[in-house]
Amino acid sequence: MAGIDVARAWGLFAVLVASAGLYALITPVQATAGPRWPAAQELFAVEGWSTAPPQVDTANGEEDEEVNEKEIKSSKKACQ
């Protein structure tokens, strides 16, 4: 009896491995995309809340005015 159970287990294992292999072969590869940010400002609208443009206050623990100005300008362009 034990020989039959082992044979069934190996048979099931073979079927599952073959199925996984076929699935891997026929499933299209998904392109890796970078992070995205929603373009519609209405998505962030919540009644009673107000928002301001994103702003970087510190970089690596130190305040960097040049980085802040570039971030503010780029975020203003993105918001328009």
Domain ranges of the chain: 2-27+41-79
Reported as a single tens digit per residue, the pLDDT across 14-26 is 999 999 999 999 9
Assign residue 48 a region (left: φ > 0; alpha: ψ between -120 and 50; beta: otherwise).
left
| Model pTM score | 0.36
- Assess whether pLDDT exceeds 70 at residue 64: no
| Alpha-carbon distances of 45 from 29, 41, 48, rounded to whole Å | 36, 7, 9
Residue 80's contacts (CB-CB under 8 Å, 6 or more residues apart) are none
Higher pLDDT, 45 or 1: 45
Averaged over 26-40, what is the pLDDT? Answer: 80
Report the pLDDT value the prediction gives residue 80, as an integer from 0 to 100: 63
Sign of CA dihedral 76, 77, 78, 79: positive
